Structure formats: structure tokens, C-alpha cells
Structure 1
Amino acid sequence: DFEASFIRLIDKVTNGSRIEINQTGTTLYYQPGLLYGGSLDHDCSPSRSIGYYLEGLLCLAPFMKHPLKIVLRGVTNDQVDPSVDVLKATALPLLKKFGIDGENLEIKINRRGMPPKGGGEILFACPVRKVLQPIQFTDPGKIKRIRGTAYSVRVSPQMANRMVESARSILNKFLPDIYIYTDHMKGVSSGKSPGFGMCLTAETINGTILSAELASNPQGQGAAVLPEELGQNCAKLLLEEIYRGGCVDSTNQSLALLLMTLGQRDVSKVLLGPLSPYTIEFLRHLRSFFQIMFKIETKTPEEEHMGGEKVLMTCVGVGFSNLSKTIR
């Protein structure tokens, strides 16, 4: 269901794709077309969150023919995929490091939608680039501030405040500069299902952004979660992500590696925390599609930099340039 919706989305942003699926739905024949872009809208399947579709679009958007401007409707925050808040806070600054920036790079949340019914709506806009610049991103730096959003829809607005207090009680031991916004949406913009959740980001002096998030159980599934517990657990998840460290958090490892691969024929380096299973599988795909191998060096943390083991990833870009971009 959600996979079919994703294929339809890819079909919308491309021009001339051929897609055939056999009757049992076990094999997919896909012949890609040109990445076209433009202004679009798409209704995502509510069984997965918009983040699932957005991850695919983030990889493709810089290489379109026309700048992409797309409205996605569905579930904005769930427990499976990275939420729209996290991608807005972490993936967009990552794209900027590769030279994909400008005022028309944005993710805007118009409505929130919680599972199972969804009803959220976001706008994603991204400019096109001819080439990506290589990056040297090896020093994450020390954490200077923590920002976050506690959101609640179709429940008491007090829920958000309770999450903020419990998260602050843990994070205040770590550093004083913490600001967590409360976002309580009413009426049409609150979607169709009740729920609440939290997204936290830690920013370092060198502009590394690490994130963590949690959402409440969908209505009618699982036990009810106390907002205090959710706030505390989200803070602990953020601390765990900080312990893992690296210059890119575990949600965006694969996006960073893809953009490094597609960079100019120059050396790119990035320091990551322990590789997630998804990233390891993604590296295999990069090897089979681009014949590119990363040099992987493990770094044990030094005395003053505590935390988990780090991995230094180095590669030479394939020199990909965007052929479909119109030259004015």
C-alpha cells in the first residue's frame, strides 16, 4: 500500500518512467525517466509517515530539471519513520553543507497529522544544483545548545508543557541553554487523530546537528503513554545520540554518504558515529550502483572527546553533474 504510493510519487516527479508490477506484487520492473520536478502534490498512504516519502525526495530533489515544490498529505509524526520535524532540523542543514541552499529550500508544516488517520500537510521546496561540492566534515565540536518542539494535537495543551518539564529535568544537568517550543495545533490544522510527541535537536559549535524524537502510541493501539515518561525517554534518546556522536546523526547517515558519492571528483570526508544497519545496507547499494567504495577507518575517542567509537568515511565523488538542469 505505502510502497505503491511511493512508486506513484516517484512517477509524479519524473517524466517518462516505465513501471510494471507483476500480479502477485513480488517483482517490480522500473525504468527511470528524467527527473522533472515542478509544483506537485501527493496524498501519502497513512500506514507510513510523510518522512518515509520525504527521505526519497531529499535524495532526488537537487537533481531535478525544475526546482521541486511539493505538498505532501498524510501522517506527519509516527513511531516508525523520521518525522518531518527531525528532517527539517537535520537534513536541510546537511543539504546546505553540500551547496544546496537558497531561500527556496524549506520544509513547512501546515497541518499535523497523527496515526492512524493522518490528515497532516507539509510543503517541501528544494532548488536544483548542477554539481555538489565536496565536504570535509570531520570535527563535530562541542554541544552549545539544545532546541526542540513538543507538539500536541487533539489532546489537552497541557500535555506539551508536561513533556517539556520532564525533558528539561534531565537535560538541565547537561547544559543550561535549552529551549523547547510547545506547538499545540487546533481545528483543521490538527489532523484527524489525537496524539502528542517531542523532537529534540542538539547543535554544536561547528554546526553539527544531532536529533532524537518520540511520539505517543496511535489511538487504540498499545498502552497510553504518560507525557512525563515520553519527555524523559526522548531526552535520554538525545543523550544516547550525542554519545554516538559524529558529524551527522544516525537518521541522515545514508543521505550524507549519497551526496558525497555524487560530488565532484574530489575527496570528501565525514566523521560518523557507529553505522546503523540501514546505512550498511545502503553502502552495499552504493557499491552496486556507482562502483564506489568508501575507506572506513575506526576512531577510538580521545580523552577529552568522550562517547562511542567513531567511523571516518572517505570517498572520491563520481563527478555527477545534473544534465537535466536548464541553463539560463
Structure 2
Amino acid sequence: MVFAGLSPVQAFLSSCNIVKNLKHLNRYLVIKMAEYMDIDGSVLEGGGQILRISISLSAILGIPVRVFNIRVGRSKPGLAAQHLKGLQLVAEMCQGKLKGASIGSTEIQFAPGKIRGGHYIADTHTAGSISLLLQIALPCALLADGPVTLDLKGGTNAEMAPQIDYMVTVLKPLLKKFHADFRLNIRRRGYFPKGGGHVTVEVSPVRSLRGVSIVERGDITAIRGSSFVAGILPVKLAQEMAEGAKEELKQFHHNVDIRCYKEDRTVAPDNCSGILVWAETDRDCVLCADELGKRGRDPRHLGRSAGATLAATLACKAALDTHAQDQVIVYMALAEGKSSVSVGDITLHTKTAMHIVELIAKIKFNVYEESGQNIIECTGLGLINKNLPPD
């Protein structure tokens, strides 16, 4: 190290100051690293949901997080394409700093910035679920500083995730109860293994989310559904799925109306089949179940499986179905005031969601049984989006 123009004594003293400053710098870096909240990605459900909730809340609350042991118990541990693109999408939305984000990574660090309105694109280049991309980005978009447009590309109807139609049929009316909304346009369907789906979501941010009471399901007013085929598959398969579902659901309503159709080849050129069935009530609840077709599986049995899942939810008189009960946890935590929802058996996904939210947001969920139902309740943070004027 050279100290031009300094005497040997001055150079020595300067070097001591540099060493001292370096020690201060190292101490500063250690302190900054310690500010990351550690999230164990292997707890409870141990899947991508931990990552999605952690990153959404990190961006919204401004809390840096380190998520480790990401999907370590899965057959292919670490980040898959859908998880990676979700991370990168939120990082772009809030101009955050992301470290360790690569396919197969089991540890990431995320330091968020301010959530900005704008136009964002996320493409998994696989059949990775668009619904799960929406799950991580939508809470952030609702609390941005301006309107958000999301162009999401991947799989619209994927295994191990809600079909994109579920997000419109169930999540959209559910969010309206929190005084939030979004618009969704399915431009192209994408199925396993090719993907290629394209969905545009437009979100107007809100000043705050309102607490909800979704405890009384009410009486069933209608049971509807959609049973589809795409590509070269015959519409007869859709009809058989519908018949199977009706067998399970006719006990709950005299008319189970399931639309059977073949997707337009310009929107859905590849092969796929599936069914969604949902019940509507006089308390504005919508409860849904779905299945995707599988090679070698009898379509009537597949329809019966979807029908039986919905029938089990209706029999316990819960106000939310199994998909909705874990998705609503983040919104309950952010909302103003007390929120209560009634559910059937509490899923591992829901237990995981509550655990992660409690860890990051420092709120407490209470769960108790009443009249044969499980009630989940909490008092939310009452987070205010200060970028928007009061209502």
C-alpha cells in the first residue's frame, strides 16, 4: 500500500486509521446482515408458499428477509422457475435487492424498496403456475403507489395450484369483501408440459384493506361449474366429468348447472381437460373445487373427485373452501380491524401461512371451534398506503 507524499510515520498512522475504519466497516456490515429476518423454508408445509408469503410481506412491510432451506424436502429442492420468476417480479416491483436467486438455490436474501406502480412482465418459460405468480404479486400491487399491470406467462391450469379460473370465480369476489379488486384477462391458455399461457392482470391500489367477517355461509342458491377440453380431445370427456360431479352434488341443490365446452384452438392449442365446480350462497360466499384431467384416469371418476371435494366443504357449512382459507391469511393480516372466517379442517397450507405471517407481521391468529366449524380470526395491522389520499 503506497501513501504518496507522506513520511513513514504519517504513512504508518494512516494505515492504522484505514485498519480502524475497515473494522468499523466490517462491524457495520455485520450489523446490516443481522437486520435480515431469518425464515426457515422447511417448516410445516415446507414448499413454495413460505417463499411467496415471506417475500410479499417483506416488500409490503419493508422488512429484509433471508429465506433458507427452501423446498429442501422436495424431490427437486430449491427454487424452480415459477418461484424464481415470482421473486424477480416482486423485486422489480419494489426495486428490491435480491441475492442467491437462481434455479435450485435453497437460500435467498431480499431487501425491499418502495412498491411502484407500472407495467411488469414475468415469464416462467415453463408450465409453472400463473396463479402462484399472482399470489405473490397481488398483495404488493394492491399497496403500490399507482396502478399496476401484470403480464404473467406460464401455466394457466396447473397441478398443485388453483386453476386461473379459480382466481376469477372465488378470489376476486373474496377480495371485494376486503374492499380490493383486480381485472384479469386470459389471453392464451397454457398447459403442462409446454406452458405458453398468458394472463394480463390490472390492479388499482387501495388506501387500506378492510377487515372481514366471513363466518356465516348462508343457504346455497346455486351450484355451477365448467368442464372443458382443449386441443384434439373430444368434448365427450367434458360431459363425462360433468356427470360425475353432478352425482356427488345433486344432494345439495336440485339443479347443478355445469357448462361443458371445448376451448377455442386459437386460445388453447394444446391438449388438456379439467373441471371446476362451485356453490354460491345467499351470503355472497363462493366455494369451489377443481380437478385436471390425467392420462389414463376415467373422466367420470375425475368429475366425482371434484364433486366430492366440494360436497365435503358444503357438508361442514364452512364459508371458505380449502384453497381460499390459506390465500386469505395475508389479507386478514394487512387489513384494518378484526377479521374472522369459518373453514372446515384447517389445511397444512393454512397452518404454514399463519405461522409465517405471525413471524413477520407480529400479529396473532386465534383458532377455535364453534358449531362444528373452525373459526380463524385476527386483528390486522391496519396498514395504510400513504401514497394514496384518504377515502
1:283 aligns with 2:354: yes
Q: Which amino acid aligns with 2:98?
A: I
Distance 1:22 1:76, change over 3 A: closer
**Match of residue 69 from structure 1:** 149
Say if 1:171 and 1:319 are closer, same or farther in 2 by CA, change over 3 A: closer
Contact 1:35–1:65, Cα closer than 8 Å, also in 2: yes
Partner of 2:201: 124
Change (3 A) 1:278 1:169: closer
Provide structure 2 residue ranges, at least 5 long, that are not aligned to the other structure: 1-79
The residue that corresponds to 2:73 in the other structure is none
Q: Does 1:250 align with 2:328?
A: no
1:182 is displaced (CA, Å) by 2.6
145, 153, 159: which one pairs with 2:222?
145
Measured after TM superposition, the shift of residue 128 of structure 1 is: 0.8
User: Distance between the aligned counterparts of 2:278 and 2:355, measured in 1?
Assistant: 29
- State whether residues 35 and 324 of structure 1, in contact with CA within 8 Å, keep that contact through their aligned partners in structure 2: no
Q: Which residue of 2 aligns with 1:156?
A: 234
Structure 1 position 92 matched with structure 2 position 92: no
The equivalent position to 2:283 in structure 1, one of 182, 187, 206, is: 206
2:367 corresponds to? 296
Share of identical aligned residues, percent?
23
User: How far off is 1:244 after superposition?
Assistant: 4.2
Q: Residue type of the partner of 2:362?
A: Q
**Residue of structure 2 in register with 1:19 after alignment:** 98
SS at 2:327 equivalent: helix
Contact in 2 for aligned 1:141/1:206 (Cα 8 Å): yes
Do 2:121 and 2:152's aligned partners in 1 also have CA atoms closer than 8 Å?
yes
Cα distance in 2 for residues equivalent to 1:22 and 1:279: 26
CA deviation profile, 1:22-41 (whole Å, cap 9, x unmatched): 78723211101222132233
In the TM superposition, 1:121-270 aligns within 5 A as 121-154=198-231, 155-191=233-269, 193-217=270-294, 223-264=295-336, 266-270=337-341
Q: Distance in 1 between matches of 2:349 and 2:288?
A: 17
Q: Determine if contact 1:241/1:249 at 8 Å carries over to the other structure.
A: yes
How many residues are matched? 309
CA deviation vs aligned residue, 1:28-83 (integer Å, no higher than 9, x gap): 11101222132233212425221221221233221112222222121111221111
> What is the CA–CA distance in structure 1 between the aligned matches of 2:195 and 2:101, rounded to whole Å?
30
Inter-partner Cα distance in structure 1 for 2:290 and 2:152:
21
| CA RMSD of superposed structures (Å) | 2.2
Do the aligned residues in 2 keep the contact of 1:271 with 1:313 (CA within 8 Å)? yes
Aligned to 1:28: 108
Q: Secondary structure at the match of 1:35?
A: coil
Cα 1:183–1:108, aligned 2, differ >3 Å: closer, same or farther?
farther
Q: Distance in 2 between matches of 1:74 and 1:22?
A: 19
Name the amino acid aligned to 2:168: K
Structure 1: which 5+ residue stretches go unaligned? 218-222, 302-309
CA distance in 2, matches of 1:182, 1:47: 24
1:144-175 deviations in Å (ceiling 9; x for gaps)? 21111112111123322222233223323331
d(CA) in 1 for partners of 2:157 and 2:248?
23
Contact 2:211 2:332 in 1 (8 A): yes
TM-score (norm. length: structure 2): 0.74
Q: Which runs of 4+ in 1 moved over 3 A?
A: 324-328
- Structure-1 separation of matches of 2:230 and 2:117: 32
Partner of 2:66: none
Asked if structure 2 preserves the Cα contact closer than 8 Å seen for 1:212 and 1:241, the reply is no
Comparing both structures, which one devotes a greater share of its residues to helix?
2
Could you tell me how far apart the structure 2 residues matched to 1:179 and 1:168 are?
8
Return the alpha-carbon distance in structure 1 between the equivalents of residues 183 and 260 of structure 2: 21
1:116: how far off? 0.6
Is the 2:170–2:288 contact (alpha carbons within 8 Å) kept by the matching residues of 1?
Answer: yes
Higher RCO by CA contacts (8 Å cutoff, separation 6 or greater): 1
2-side partners of 1:17 and 1:38: how far apart?
Answer: 15
TM-score, scaled to structure 1 = 0.87
Which residue number corresponds to residue 304 of structure 1?
none
- Is the CA contact 1:153–1:184 (under 8 Å) kept in the aligned structure 2? yes
Q: How does 1:34-73 map to 2 (within 5 A)?
A: 34-73=114-153
